[in-house]
């Protein structure tokens, strides 16, 4: 265990004067090129482990062992263990928004099971479960690729690029008619004849973890909406009250979600914009947060998360901002004015780092960096996003060589192919909600007119993946 102590000069402004946390454990990878790495309790693939779990113990608790289905309440909510944690999904450092998305995709899995059972009555429980899990995971991957990422990087170029990753330059209509034709460019990464890992075993790199430090997206309060009301302008439901985020975390968050209900939580998140990924916008409640153990119980030590995130990057030998950009063949900064036009930010950066731009931490640099028009994230993060978004598809046999009727079934492939957005998923399970409260073809698009200080994307941008 390591203890971080706030410097005397700024201690008065820190919620925690010191906090303790566990050092990251390194484990042998089994690969000559990469001798050790940092392990996680979740698998790095698009395999739906946020819903199904990453080991047999959790998996067996989640399954109903009837018609391939996953356990869920009649109200469409996650079921809970005796200690109050959800049976399925993440239980460490979770919040009600993620539980809502997990519950939605459990319903998706079970609906797929019903469809497969109807068309293939000969399939047993295990076969139904395996096919439905693959289909659900593919739906998550597709939503992430052509719906979620497009809203995060909202330009026509990225819209074409993300659809190109899935369908290829020939487009969806051609691929639906003739199948995967040509290489990865013409036919897309999905459906290639064999996986491509570029000679390196697939994993989520530390660089990807570092650019994915996007906690500023979360607000300080959830704006709870009244979905029993008559729709207002832009189909906006009236605000009932604001719930502090600290009441939506962990076991207490699961209890709060039960009172709110999944449908109202989805609508509420959909009409509340994300926070902007910029300096001085880190949620205050993260400055004094209680981390959870694997069983969902709270640890005794509180954590200042933004400080911990910077420390983790340093501990795991992730390059500082300039070093990171050089590794990506991007132009490094030579002075603070290259990074930002904000004079106040420049003054603070000089106070912290002096004139040495090489000392600038990656997370701080990403938040301060000038944004490309239409981008919610920095150019630095975008390059990593683009690389990993492609690799997560082309390195997975279930999106390449095994994307066939034998693996998914014909109906399973149809399910994946006809799902184009998160709205399609929500509409399957809450059709009255989408018709009443949504005015866009994408659940990630603007439903409401958010404040200028926020990104125009809902806070459920962070779906399980």
Which ranges of 34-124 does DSSP label H, i.e. alpha helix? 49-52, 56-62, 96-119
- How many CA atoms are closer than 13 Å to the CA of 195, on its beta-carbon side? 15
Q: How far apart are CA 465 and CA 461, in angstroms?
A: 11
The C-alpha torsion from 116 through 117 and 121 to 123, rounded to 10°, is 70
* CA dist., res. 250 & res. 254, Å (int): 6
Q: What is the dihedral of CA 373, 377, 383, 387, to 10 degrees?
A: -120
Tokens of 453: 């200080």
List the beta bridge partners of residue 455. 274
User: Parallel, antiparallel, or unpaired: how do β-strands 239-244 and 18-21 relate?
Assistant: unpaired
* CB burial of residue 441 (10 Å; 0-12, 13-18, 19+): exposed
Determine phi and psi for 198, rounding to 5 degrees.
55, 30
3-state secondary structure of 191: coil
Check if the beta carbon of residue 79 is closer than 8 Å to that of residue 71.
yes
Q: Is 95 helix (H, G, I), strand (E, B) or coil?
A: strand
Pairing of strands 36-38, 2-5: unpaired
Residues 51/89, Cβ–Cβ less than 8 Å: yes
d(CA 376, CA 212): 12
The answer to whether residues 98 and 13 touch, using CB atoms and an 8 Å cutoff, is no
**Cβ 118 vs Cβ 68: under 8 Å:** no
Closest CA to 291 of 1, 21, 9: 21
Among the listed residues 120, 202, 212, 311, the single catalytic one is: 212
User: Active site includes 212?
Assistant: yes
Closest CA to 365 of 307, 284, 278: 278
Residue 108 burial by CB count (10 A; 0-12/13-18/19+): exposed, middle or buried? buried
Say whether 70 sits in a helix, a strand or coil.
Answer: strand
Q: Is 198 labeled as ligand-binding? A: no
Please say whether the beta carbons of 94 and 252 come within 8 A: no
Q: Name the 3-class secondary structure at 399.
A: helix
Which residues does the annotation place in the binding site? 215
Which residues does the annotation place in the binding site for heme b? 215
Q: Which residues are catalytic?
A: 212
């Amino acid at each position: 265990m390591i203890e971080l102590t706030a410097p005397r000069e700024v201690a008065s402004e820190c919620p925690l004067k010191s906090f303790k946390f566990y050092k990251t454990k390194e484990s042998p990878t089994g690969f000559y090129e990469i001798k050790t790495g940092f392990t996680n309790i979740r698998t790095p693939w698009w395999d739906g482990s946020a819903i199904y779990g990453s080991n047999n113990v959790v998996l067996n608790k989640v399954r109903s062992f009837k018609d391939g289905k996953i356990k869920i309440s009649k109200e469409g909510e996650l079921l809970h263990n005796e200690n109050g944690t959800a049976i399925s999904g993440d239980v460490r450092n979770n919040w009600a928004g993620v539980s809502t998305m997990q519950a939605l995709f459990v319903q998706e899995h079970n609906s797929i099971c019903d469809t497969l059972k109807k068309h293939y009555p000969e399939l047993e429980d295990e076969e139904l479960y395996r096919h439905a899990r693959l289909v659900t995971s593919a739906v998550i991957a597709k939503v992430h690729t052509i719906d979620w990422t497009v809203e995060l990087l909202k330009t026509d170029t990225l819209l074409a690029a993300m659809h190109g990753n899935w369908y290829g330059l020939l487009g969806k209509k051609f691929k639906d008619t003739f199948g995967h034709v040509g290489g990865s460019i013409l036919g897309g990464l999905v459906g290639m004849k064999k996986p491509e890992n570029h000679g390196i075993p697939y994993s989520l790199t530390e660089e990807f973890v570092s650019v994915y430090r996007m906690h500023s997206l979360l607000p300080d309060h959830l704006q709870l909406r009244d979905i029993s009301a008559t729709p207002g302008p832009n189909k906006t439901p009236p605000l009932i009250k604001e719930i502090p985020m600290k009441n939506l975390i962990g076991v207490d968050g699961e209890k709060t979600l039960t009172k709110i209900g999944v449908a109202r939580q989805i609508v509420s998140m959909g009409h509340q914009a994300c926070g902007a990924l910029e300096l001085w916008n880190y949620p205050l409640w993260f400055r004094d947060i209680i981390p959870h153990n694997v069983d969902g119980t709270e640890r005794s030590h509180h954590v200042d998360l933004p400080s911990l995130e910077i420390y983790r990057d340093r501990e795991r030998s992730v390059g500082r901002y300039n070093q990171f950009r050089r590794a990506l063949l991007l132009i490094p900064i030579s002075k603070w004015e290259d990074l930002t036009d904000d004079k106040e930010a420049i003054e603070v950066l000089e106070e912290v780092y002096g004139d040495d731009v090489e000392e600038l931490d990656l997370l701080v640099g990403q938040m301060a960096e000038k944004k490309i028009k239409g981008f919610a994230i920095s150019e630095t993060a975008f390059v990593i996003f683009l690389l990993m978004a492609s690799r997560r598809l082309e390195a997975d046999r279930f999106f390449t060589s095994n994307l066939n009727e034998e693996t998914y079934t014909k109906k399973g492939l149809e399910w994946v192919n006809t799902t184009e957005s998160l709205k399609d998923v929500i509409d399957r399970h809450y059709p009255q909600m989408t018709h009443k409260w949504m005015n866009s073809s994408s659940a990630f698009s603007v439903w409401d007119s958010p404040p200028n200080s926020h990104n125009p994307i809902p806070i459920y941008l962070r779906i399980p993946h």
